Amino acid sequence: MSWQPCVGLEVHVQLSTDSKMFCACPAEFGGEPNTRCCPVCLGLPGSLPVPNQEAIEHVLRTGLALNCQVAERCRFARKNYLYPDLAKNYQISQYDEPLTQDGYIDLDVNGQPVHIRIRRAHLEEDTGKNIHLLDGCSVVDYNRSGVPLMEVVTEPDFTSADEVRVYLTELRRILRYIGVSDADMEKGQMRCEPTVNLRNLQTDEATPKTEIKNLNSIRSVYEAVRYEIARQLRALETDEPLVQETRRWDETARQTVSMRRKETADDYMYFPDPDLVPLEPSSDWVADIRASIAELPTARRRRFVEEYGLPEYDASVLTEEKAVADYFEAVAAASGDPKAASNWVMTEVLRYLNEEGVTVDRFPLSPECVAELIALTADGTLSATIAREVFARACRDGRSPRQIVEQDGLAQISDTSELAKLVDEAIAANPKAVEDFRAGKEKALGAIVGHIMRTTKGQANPQLVNDLLRQKLSAS
Amino acid sequence: MEICELTAHELAGRLQAREVSAEEATQACLDRIAETDAELGAYLTVTADLALEQARAVDSRRRAGEALPAVAGVPVAIKDVLCTRGVRTTCASRILENFVPPYDAAAVERCNEAGLPMIGKTNMDEFAMGSSTENSAFKVTRNPRAIDRVPGGSSGGSAAAVAGNEAFWALGSDTGGSIRQPASLCGLVGIKPTYGRVSRYGLIAYASSLDQVGPLTKDVRDAALLLGVIAGHDGRDSTSADLPVPDYVAELEKGVQGLKAGVPAQLLGQGIDPAVRDCVLAAVDRLVALGLEVEETQMPHIDYSLPVYYILAPAEAASNLARYDGVRYGHRTAKPVSDIYDMFAKTRSEGFGPEVRLRIMLGTYALSAGYYDAYYLKALRVRTLIKRNFDEAWQKYDVLLSPTSPTVAFKVGEKADDPLQMKLADICTIPINLAGIPAASVPCGEVDGLPVGLQIMGRPFQEDVILRVAYACEQTMSG
């Protein structure tokens, strides 16, 4: 019998808006407990919610990027349950009328195309945070209460942990590209709850679903899903019973552990929130948002391969972050040499960003500067080694490459008469190496070239030095 | 005539003429409260110091020659369902017994801006659930027109305060008749404005899709003035209408000539005391004599209003009242608890009175999985049919007329043990909230020496037309 894993994902995304979902309080993470609250997000008697248009726009933008249908009319609904971190004891969410639904995303998983259906992307508000003190007391911080949250739900279309990992990486990339969230799982800006079960392809029989919680990185989602699929397959083989339950990922033990059984569905008594009027995104608004969505990462990656002739790997590195891709394209345009631009950005620029821990918008060199370096290398003014040195100096003191070359005298020595003098000196200074070379030891030439490079601090044109040296040694 | 017996606009005239000061008028109210409120029980909190301070501020601004709103200095009473910054706001419930809001409701803010000193917070049925003010957790309020009778509810404290001259006017809230029915029982004018006309920000919610804030006043001109103070758009309430507010007073004396009225047969039949019906029909005849064109009309879906209301309102209430759990504010049980859910259960059982508990249970049931479609969803659909009945009526009529209450004021305790009879008290007023339209109650006669109210319903946002008809009716009463 063949059992296929079925995994569905519910992803919660904190939207990057200035203010909360239904009030003017700052949505920013942190702050002294209960200092970023007002009557609305504290759910005080008589307070009323007013929806944040920016958050609505973020969800519409996400829905469109995920090929979803945008509702002509939709509502907020109340999800009723009692919990201390929930200020009103109901969460304003969306139920049977989400903002966007019925989309899809096409992924490339280890070279194989995978099509995942998106059930919906909707809008809701976050809860506060219960804090359990050591003395047994519990307190609540409502700073997070009312922060806009988007929920992106897929159909149970994933059949492996690999597909889940690629989806989350791609979703994160898209969310950053379209500017709706930083989507950092480690910071809780993106939270993921997979649902896992197995389906028999012959009989359509299915095992009970388990939901996995406490996943704080894409890596832990990947591991937890892989573990859970294996656990369920093993249980089937050994005839162990499987139950519908919520399981927690234990990061240290690297396994899922049963949290609670779910024998009946929770009854959240959803109903349309009477405090909020129906949302009717106008077709003009939706068209504007659609038009404002920049090229998405997958499309851009493909274009980089086709337009610039870059290898697949380089294209994917360069498109990982929108700002880096933008920077690369600016360098390519300014230099007219996309391959060189790609080399410079992938090696020197990304290394600098990594080492300094900054994003590309804080990178000190303009794309034009890097283009200048490319030009100086191409016309022979700079050797590759010296070019890297010029790059470092430019990053340090903000001078342009041309200035550095002139002021610091770093231009490559390509003048043959000058080089001939240097070669003669080197031959005179290395009689042993000369003898060895003449005796057929090809390697000995390196020592003589090295001597010249040392005395010129790398400025001698190595190609010319090589040619001259061979000429002289064979002539005499 | 004593100061506190004046209508609000009479007092406003004297304040403008500087024949009396706002401080004197406020003090007159406070004196009357000291004299009669032990018996009436209209107030839960009297804010004497605050009122006097606000009154003196108006007086000094007037002395300085500042331009003031026409009604500045006329003291107002506020139903204890509206949040008042720094002043205890209880909803007449144990669960909010010591709740002091950090902010003012929008309607209260507007009263402040108009320079109305706040005399105090008035009694009500707990969380506005009731028709007699007997459901208050704190006290019983009596009807100034007959001290052994109820003032109606849930805005019974506001009605008793105005009818007993303990306030010149008052704000109430109306979810199913809570302004109009007490106005009718106490011989006052009361208006339930169009849903969205007055901001609900700071109005402690009972049923959000039905609640509106409105005035309770001694005459129609006062009602027009106070509605003008509180009406208008507010960005903090998403359901607030962004429409201009007309000058309600300017239109008052235009008369009823050329207007057409319908009298729905469904609001004159079963359950209406025949003497009340005759009194209302006599008032309709007087309006006809003034030139109002009247005919009987059929609005069949109105008959389902009560059951629809008792599904939708409790459903919204069950969710709205969920926040009172003892975690953040309000009552928290002092008993030992086993866990957080035990704390919720004990706190809420102690904090809510029986009627509130009943409605929370009704609402929870109606929203539960498996019952939602049969109750909540069906009720929503019938609500749409009721709205449609009114939409059709507006094709033919400018206003609709009916009794406000099926009976005159009943005795304290008389219906307290008969919840069905109590709920029938709102049979004529509930359809208006379901339709979201405006309606007023205006005194139109007496039965056994007790006041009877005529309910005048109008098109959405046509409170001005309603007020014209109410004013004409009032004119037929005086003299």
Of A46, A78, A275, which is closest to B239 when you measure between CB atoms?
Answer: A275
- Per-residue DSSP letters for A81-139? ---TTSTTSEEEE--SS-SEEEEEEEEEETTEEEEEEEEEEEEEE---EEEE-TTS-EE
What residue segments make up the domains of chain B, in order of their start?
A: 3-252
CA dihedral B175, B179, B180, B185 (to 10 degrees): 130
Cβ A44–B101 below 8 Å, yes or no?
A: yes
H/E stretch holding B66: none
Residue of B199, B324, B338, B367 to mutate, testing the A interface (most A Cβ within 10 Å of its Cβ):
B367
Closest CA to A47 of B43, B92, B216, B329: B329
Contact list, A276 vs chain B (CB under 8 Å): 238-239
From B93, B131, B136, B154, active-site residue: B154
H/E stretch holding B161: helix B156-163
Of A45, A78, A275, which is closest to B204 when you measure between CB atoms?
Answer: A45
Beta bridge partners, B263, equal B296
A416-475 belongs to CATH 1.10.10.410: yes
Contact list, A87 vs chain B (CB under 8 Å): 323, 328
Q: Which residues of A touch B (CB under 8 A)?
A: 39, 42-51, 78, 80, 82-84, 87-90, 138, 140, 265, 267, 269, 271, 274-277
CA distance B377 to chain A (A): 9
- Each residue's pLDDT expressed in tens, for chain A with a length of 476 residues: 689 999 999 999 999 999 999 999 999 888 999 999 999 999 999 999 999 999 999 999 999 999 999 999 999 999 999 999 999 999 999 999 999 999 999 999 998 999 999 999 999 999 999 999 988 888 999 999 999 999 999 999 999 999 999 999 999 999 999 999 999 998 889 999 999 999 998 998 999 999 999 999 999 999 999 999 999 999 999 999 999 999 999 999 999 999 877 666 679 999 999 999 999 999 999 999 999 898 899 899 999 999 999 999 999 999 988 999 999 999 999 999 999 999 999 999 999 999 988 899 899 999 999 999 999 888 878 878 888 888 999 999 888 888 888 888 777 777 778 888 888 888 888 888 888 888 888 888 888 888 888 888 778 888 888 888 888 887 65
Cβ A48–B237 below 8 Å, yes or no?
A: yes
H/E stretch holding B344: helix B340-351
Contact list, B318 vs chain A (CB under 8 Å): 80, 269
- A73 neighbors A138 (Cβ within 8 angstroms): no
Residue B21 a catalytic site member = no
Number of A/B CB contacts below 8 angstroms equals 96
Of A42, A82, A140, which is closest to B344 when you measure between CB atoms?
Answer: A82
Residue of A23, A37, A48 to mutate, testing the B interface (most B Cβ within 10 Å of its Cβ):
A48
- B326-337 pLDDT per residue, tens: 999 999 999 999
**Whether the bond into B478 is cis, omega within 30 of 0:** no
Residue B144 identity (one-letter amino acid): P
Contact list, B344 vs chain A (CB under 8 Å): 82
- With CA atoms as reference, the chain A residue closest to B127 would be A45
Closest CA to A277 of B240, B149, B316: B240
Does residue B124 sit at the A interface (CB-CB below 8 Å)? Answer: no
Task: Look up the pTM and report it.
Answer: 0.89
Burial of B199 per CB tally in 10 Å (0-12, 13-18, 19+): buried
Contact list, B364 vs chain A (CB under 8 Å): 269
3-state class (DSSP) for residue B246: coil
Respond yes or no on whether ipTM tops 0.90.
yes
Closest CA to B206 of B120, B311, B308, B91: B91
CA distance B101 to chain A (A): 8
3-state class (DSSP) for residue A9: strand
Contact list, B235 vs chain A (CB under 8 Å): 50
Does residue B364 sit at the A interface (CB-CB below 8 Å)? Answer: yes
CA distance A101 to chain B (A): 23
Cβ B209–A269 below 8 Å, yes or no?
A: no
| Range B416-424 average pLDDT | 85
The ranges of chain A annotated as CATH 1.10.10.410 are 416-475
CATH code assigned to B3-252: 3.90.1300.10
CA distance B446 to chain A (A): 37
Residue B402 a catalytic site member = no
- B185 neighbors B225 (Cβ within 8 angstroms): no
Residue B349 a catalytic site member = no
Contact list, A92 vs chain B (CB under 8 Å): none
Does residue B323 sit at the A interface (CB-CB below 8 Å)? Answer: yes
